[in-house]
Structure 1
Amino acid sequence: MKKLITLVFILSTFLAVQAQELVRFQEGGKYGYKNWKTKQVVIPPTYSFAMDFSEGLAQVEIDDKMGYIDTAGKLVIPCKYEGSYGFSEGLGSVVLNGKRGFIDKTGKAVTAFKYDENDSFVEGLARVKCNGIWGFMDPTGKEVIAPKYEDANSFRKGIASVKLNGKYGAIDKSAKVVVPFRYDEALYFEEEDGNGEVGAIVKINGSAGVVNKVGKEIVPVKYERVARYRNNIAWVQYNGKWGMVDNTGKEVVPITYATLEELYHRK
C-alpha cells in the first residue's frame, strides 16, 4: 500500500510539474502545447482554440464545443460544452444549453446547470448567480449561502463584500453580517502580504476609505479616491492630490503628488 501511495504521489507530482511547463502556441490557425523550457512540441496544434493548463487540465475547442485534455493530450472530458473555464479546487465551470454549472475532473456534473454566472472557487466557496441574484456554493454543489444578493465579491480571509437592498456590507462564511449594509460601493477584502490588517476599499456619498473585517473604518471615509490598500497603507487622493496614509489615518507619504503615476514613481 505504501508503495502504491508513493507511486501515485510521484505520478501526480510529475503531471503537476509537466502542466506548469506546458504553454499553448498557435500555428496555422490551430492551437497546441509546447514545453516552455525546451520549446519541444508536446501536444500538436490541432485545436481551434485552447487555454492554459489549470490543475492538470486545459480547455480545448473542437467543432465549436469545449472540453478538456490532460498533459498527455488525451481528451478526458468530451468537447460538448458551449463554454468552459479553468479548474479550481477540483471543479471546473462549464456552460451547457446556455446555463452554467460545475463538473469534476471526470466530467461528472456536481451541480445543476441553472446558473447565469459563476466564478472559480476561492477559499472553498464559489460565487453563483441565479435569476439575477448572487449566492455562494461549496465544492459538493450545495448552496451554503442562498442567492439573495444584488452583487457579491469572492471571499478573502473569510469575508466577502456583498450588496443588499442597494447598499454594500460584508458577511462571513455563515452569512453573518460583519460589516453593516451602508456603503454605496465596496471592493473585495485585500489580502495582506503577511503584516497588514485585512481591509476593503469602500465608498459612501462620494467619499472613499477602508473598512476592516469587523466593520471598523481603519482609513477614514473622507478621501476622493482610494486606489489601493495593502499592508496597512492606503494610496489616497484628497483635494486633487495623491499620497499615502496608514490604518490610523496618519500621512506616511505627503498628499502632494499631482497624479497617481507621480506617487508611484516618487523618489
Structure 2
Amino acid sequence: MDESGKTILPFKYDRIKYVREGLAGVKLNDKWGFVDKTGGIVIPIIYDTISSFFNNVSVVELNYSWGAINRVGKIIIPFEYDEFYYTPLGLREMVVLKKDTKWGVMDRKGRVILPFKYEQPNEELKKDLNLIKKRKK
C-alpha cells in the first residue's frame, strides 16, 4: 500500500522486499522475481535468491549458482559461480565470487577485476581490493 492506503501490489505474493530503482522483489512459491510499480512482472519469478538492484544490476541465485541480471532480466554475469558476496571496503559496484575452489572479483558488468586465484576471500584479497580502491581516488 502507498501512503494513502491504496493497494499498489496485489496480495498474491508470499513476500515483497527490495523496492529499489523502480522494481520490487517478490516471492511466490519459494521463488523470487521483480515487478514494477503497477504490479507487472518485469523479471520472471524463477530465482532462488535475489539482491536489491544497484546501478541497474541485481545479483541472483538460480539452481544453486550465482550470477547477475540487469533490470530487464538480461544476464550480465553468467550463472556459473558457487558463492557470492559484496566486496568489503565500500566497493559495492564489485562482487566477490567463488568458482570451483577459487575466489575472484568482478564488476557488475561481468568484467574480472581480480582473477580467480584466491584460496579464500581473506586478507590477501582485501589487500588487493584496497589497492584498487586507492587507484580509484
2:81 alignment partner, one of 169, 179, 183: 183
Deviations 1:181-214 (A, max 9, x none): 1001123588x6xxx7921111122322211122
Superposed counterparts of 1:159-198, under 5 Å: 159-187=57-85, 198=93
- The answer for the alignment partner of 1:157 in structure 2 is 55
Tell me the equivalent position of 1:237: 123
In the other structure, the counterpart of 1:210 is 105
- What fraction of aligned residue pairs are identical, expressed as a percent? 36
Unaligned runs of 5+ in 2: none
Count of aligned positions: 133
SS at structure 2 position matched to 1:244 = helix
Please list every run of 5 or more consecutive structure 1 residues that lacks an aligned counterpart in the other structure. 1-102, 227-235, 253-267
Q: Is the 8 A contact 1:188 1:200 kept in 2?
A: yes
Q: Distance in 1 between matches of 2:126 and 2:56?
A: 30
For normalisation by structure 1, the TM-score amounts to: 0.44
Instruction: Report Cα offsets for 1:13-56 as digits up to 9, x if no partner.
Output: xxxxxxxxxxxxxxxxxxxxxxxxxxxxxxxxxxxxxxxxxxxx
CA contact (8 A) 2:104 2:116 kept: yes
TM-score, normalised relative to structure 2: 0.81
C-alpha displacement of 1:180: 0.8
Structure 1: distance between partners of 2:16 and 2:4: 20
Out of 23, 32, 41, the residue aligned to residue 125 of structure 1 is 23
Q: Once the 2 structures are TM-superposed, how far is the Cα of residue 120 of structure 1 from its aligned partner? A: 3.5
CA distance in 1, matches of 2:120, 2:65: 19
Cα distance in 2 for residues equivalent to 1:158 and 1:197: 13
1:179–1:213: 8 Å Cα contact kept in structure 2? Answer: yes
Structure 2 CA distance for aligned equivalents of residues 173 and 206 of structure 1: 30
2:41 counterpart of 1:143: yes
Cα 1:170–1:120 shift into 2, 3 Å: closer
Residue 154 of structure 1 aligns with an amino acid whose one-letter code is S
Q: Distance in 1 between matches of 2:38 and 2:8?
A: 7
Please, what is the CA RMSD of the aligned residues? 2.8
- Contact 1:127–1:152 (8 Å) recurs in 2: yes
